[in-house]
Amino acid sequence: MSETTVVPQAAPEDPWRAFRSRLEEAALLAELEPGLTEIVITPEKVLEVAVPFRRDDGRIEMCQGWRVQHDTSRGPGKGGVRFHPALTASEVMALSAEMTIKCAVVGLPFGGAKGGVRVETRGLSVGELERLTRRYAFDVSALLGPDRDVPAPDVNTDARVMAWIMDTISMMRGEATPGVVTGKPLAIGGSQGHVGATSTGVTICVQSIFAQLGASLAGARAVVQGVGKVGGPLVYLLTSLGMRVIAVADVYGAIHNPAGLDPAALNGHIAATGSVVGFPLADPIPPGALFGLECEVLVPAALGGVIDAGVAEQLGCKMIVEAANGPTLPDADAVLERRKILVVPDVLANAGGVTASYFEWAQSRQGFAWDGQLVAERLRAVMQQAFEATWERAEALKVPLRKAAITLGLERVAEATRLRGLFP
């Protein structure tokens, strides 16, 4: 284990400004004219709403919520709903722009959107969470619809939350609207293969980058930060490729076993205790030491903003595959490039989730459910094609994969904007 202590930093004060800088850099690489650059970068709609809801004891609690549509030139807005106590308008704007690029990179007929409520969900009863969700859905309902804007689960939201949003919109409009959200339960129009699709997409990108480099997956070491909806399944999926997941971390602590962690035993421990802490088949390590461990692949799978320039200088990995949204800050990009640490960026690596959402949306529109094998085959095809297109763009431009992916996505959005023209 490395002796270096690496302390992940907090997310930037202005995530939108940080991601906008990446978009502007990509616009220069794509040689977009200034007016078109402003059109494709500037968010189309930013809705801020008050979200009051009643607690079980009768008290009224007031929260703040947002829904941002960044770009809809390629299709309806698409993006998750996040409930988090530190959520800001700037973060929602950045995440919506990332969704614009992500959908374009994997070739989906969607634009980018994002939404959420600044709220601490820990301690909320099921009834309180439902009332909060339904009030938020009502407040942003004017923006939502299968042909307007289609939410999905994100941090601290799940299939149950999507069911409440769908039901709220259906009640308001007096008709069934299964296509208004994705990530729904199967019983009300959800899709086979949606659960775990983000993790599957990350795994496909790991396979693709190893194949591109001519490297062997057998015995390769991986470190996973975060063991939630995405990171949890990744421990099993990466191990199934023959890799050794030597360390994982959650909000409570980190553990390390150089021989590799047993996914089934680890999942059982997490289910029983709620944390990786105390797992008997691994040694505890300081959370700040996680990123300094020597490994082939680091997979940040928690919240954004954990790798800044200082952390990047001390990383022990050879490559990063970003399962989280925005885990790497712009000031780290140059450091990673200088240190020749390959990065498969979030707008490509974690696009499996939105791809599966597209499949669910299509099934809702068709009124016909696909079987799980078809979903898996189409997901792999989309992810592999997107990886290959990004790799080819990176070689043509002689830039890292992040710049190539954002440039590729921005070029596709700009093409749609040109073809549609400017109204009026």
Q: Of the candidates 229, 237, 241, 235, which has an alpha carbon nearest to the alpha carbon of residue 257?
A: 235
- Rounded mean pLDDT of the chain? 95
The residue whose two tokens read 């293969």 is 193
Whether residue 134 lies inside any domain: the answer is yes
Domain identity same for 174 and 228: no
CATH code, domain with 327: 3.40.50.720
Whether residue 127 lies inside any domain: the answer is yes
Whether residue 27 lies inside any domain: the answer is no
Separation CA 140–CA 303 (nearest Å): 24
Whether residue 416 lies inside any domain: the answer is no
Domain boundary among 310, 329, 344: 344
Domain boundary among 344, 374, 391: 344
Total domains, the chain: 2
Spans in the chain with pLDDT lower than 50: 1-12
Domain identity same for 149 and 259: no
The one catalytic residue in 45, 78, 102, 114 is 114
Contacts with 209 (C-beta within 8 Å, 6 or more apart), sequence order: 319, 321, 342, 344, 387
What 277-285 contacts at long range (C-beta under 8 Å, 24+ apart), as own/partner pairs, is 277/250, 277/252, 277/253, 279/255, 281/257, 282/247, 282/255, 282/256, 282/257, 283/255, 283/256, 283/257, 284/253, 284/254, 284/255, 284/256, 285/1, 285/247, 285/254, 285/255, 285/256
Domain identity same for 264 and 207: yes
Domain identity same for 138 and 242: no
Whether residue 362 lies inside any domain: the answer is no
Q: What is the pLDDT of residue 318?
A: 98
Q: What is the pLDDT of residue 17?
A: 94
Domain identity same for 160 and 248: no
Q: pTM, whole model, 2 decimals?
A: 0.94
163 to each of 64, 117, 195, 363, 378, how far by Cα in Å? 21, 17, 15, 16, 25
Which domain covers residue 115, as residue numbers? 15-21+36-178
Whether residue 186 lies inside any domain: the answer is no
Catalytic annotation present for 114: yes
Q: What is the pLDDT of residue 13?
A: 60
Whether residue 311 lies inside any domain: the answer is yes
Q: What is the pLDDT of residue 2?
A: 37
Whether residue 398 lies inside any domain: the answer is no
